[in-house]
């Protein structure tokens, strides 16, 4: 059995207690003796101020794999973010036991002239988020030998809401057809969700810090902070996949305070919960 912890969207630049939240996540990983940790992106800005966070991660004694999030490259070139996170490539794969774990980089945009990595500093009209052809070809190759695979990404591969799920999500779903993809996990949406398409479960992990809401015109933003750093532990067993989530509460403002009474926003559930699920594996 393989066990790993997944968290995302800590946004330490927004959290006065960001280091404490990160430490709690890492301590829980140690207590649970997980095999590795995956950060699904937007951990912190890749700046000198946040070097202590990276030092804390590197000293935890557990392998930590990072996914590129949009905030990791909103004002910085990908090379700076990779250096900060200690990554050689923006997308990668690693193996453990009978499984292959694939980390995608969904932080691209496409215009009439080509496919480019974030940032789009000139605000050129584009499709985004986007997974470019080169990476799609690489993904297809990673899945071609039939090995059991788990796929991680920052943006959702299924969320239909504009600029939440990747714009060419159907291309990725088509690549998955007939392949041995056990589970896909993403962050970015600051909520929790589970969908199954083509037999593949897609699980959205809640933010480790807050539900980030902004008005329809984009002029007003509110961070609704959780009391606890939400995250999940995943167990891959022979017959099932167990996602062990957790529940918390809001520290101040609640969704109804910003007009969200049904606790649904941009395709996800925004209760202060990382959902738990047991998924039966098909033979």
Average pLDDT estimate for 78-95: 97
Secondary structure (3-state) at 229: coil
pTM over 0.95: yes
pLDDT tens digits for range 19-33: 999 999 999 999 999
Beta-bridge mates of residue 38? 6, 65
Query: What pLDDT band is residue 216 in, cutting at 50, 70 and 90?
Result: confident
* Tokens 């509110």 found at: 222
| pLDDT given at position 219 | 79
pLDDT at 79: 97
Q: Measuring CA to CA, how many Å separate 230 from each of 19, 100, 138, 244?
A: 14, 25, 32, 11
pLDDT bin (cut points 50, 70, 90) of residue 214 is confident
Q: Say whether the peptide bond before residue 129 is cis (omega within 30 degrees of 0).
A: yes
Q: What CATH superfamily is the domain 2-280?
A: Metallo-dependent phosphatases (3.60.21.10)
Contact by Cβ (8 Å): 155, 165: yes
pLDDT of residue 281 exceeding 90, the answer is no
Distance, CA of 77 to CA of 259 (rounded, Å) = 36
% of the chain residues with pLDDT over 70 = 100
**Residue length of the chain:** 283
> Across residues 145-172, what is the average pLDDT?
95
Please, which pLDDT band fits residue 282 given cuts at 50, 70 and 90? confident
Integer Cα distance of 199 and 195 in angstroms: 10
State the CB neighbour count (10 A cutoff) for residue 216.
Answer: 6
Q: Is pLDDT above 60 for 36?
A: yes
Angle at 191 between CA 110 and CA 41, to 5 degrees: 50
Contacts of 193 (CB under 8 A, 6+ apart): 156, 159, 202, 203, 204, 267, 268, 269, 275
The average pLDDT across 168-179 equals 97
* Average pLDDT of the segment spanning 82-101: 97
Please report the pLDDT score of residue 283 as a whole number. 56
Q: Quick one: pLDDT band at residue 215, thresholds 50, 70, 90?
A: confident
Residue 163 has pLDDT above 90, yes or no: no
Rounded distance, CA 64 to CA 231, Å? 14
Q: Measuring CA to CA, how many Å separate 203 from each of 84, 130, 188, 222, 277? A: 27, 19, 12, 25, 9
The answer to whether the beta carbons of residues 226 and 28 sit under 8 Å apart is: no
Whole-Å CA distances, 81 to 7, 36, 162, 199: 18, 21, 25, 34
Residue 51, pLDDT score? 97
For the chain, domain boundaries: 2-280
């Amino acid at each position: 059995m393989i066990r790993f912890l997944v968290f995302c969207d800590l946004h330490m630049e927004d959290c006065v207690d960001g280091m404490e939240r990160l430490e709690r996540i890492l301590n829980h990983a140690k207590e649970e003796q997980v095999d590795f940790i995956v950060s699904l992106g937007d951990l912190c800005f890749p700046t000198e101020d946040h070097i202590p966070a990276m030092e804390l991660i590197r000293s935890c004694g557990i392998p930590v794999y990072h996914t590129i999030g949009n905030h990791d490259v909103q004002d910085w070139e990908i090379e700076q973010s990779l250096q900060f996170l200690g990554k050689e490539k923006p997308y990668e794969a690693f193996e453990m036991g009978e499984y292959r774990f694939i980390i995608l980089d969904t932080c691209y945009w496409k215009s009439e002239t080509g496919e480019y990595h974030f940032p789009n500093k000139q605000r050129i009209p584009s499709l985004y988020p986007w997974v470019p052809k080169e990476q799609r070809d690489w993904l297809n190759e990673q899945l071609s030998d039939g090995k059991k695979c788990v796929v991680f990404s920052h943006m959702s591969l299924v969320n239909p809401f504009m600029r939440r799920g990747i714009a060419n999500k159907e291309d990725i779903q088509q690549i998955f057809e007939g392949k041995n993809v056990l589970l896909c996990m993403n962050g970015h949406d600051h909520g929790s969700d589970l969908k199954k398409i083509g037999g593949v479960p897609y699980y959205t992990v809640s933010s480790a810090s807050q539900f980030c809401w902004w008005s329809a015109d984009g002029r007003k933003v509110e961070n609704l902070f959780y009391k606890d750093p939400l995250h999940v532990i995943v167990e891959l067993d022979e017959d099932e996949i167990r996602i062990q989530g957790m529940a918390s509460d809001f520290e101040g403002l609640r969704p109804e305070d910003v007009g969200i009474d049904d606790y649904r926003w941009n395709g996800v559930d925004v209760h202060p919960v990382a959902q738990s699920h047991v998924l039966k594996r098909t033979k």
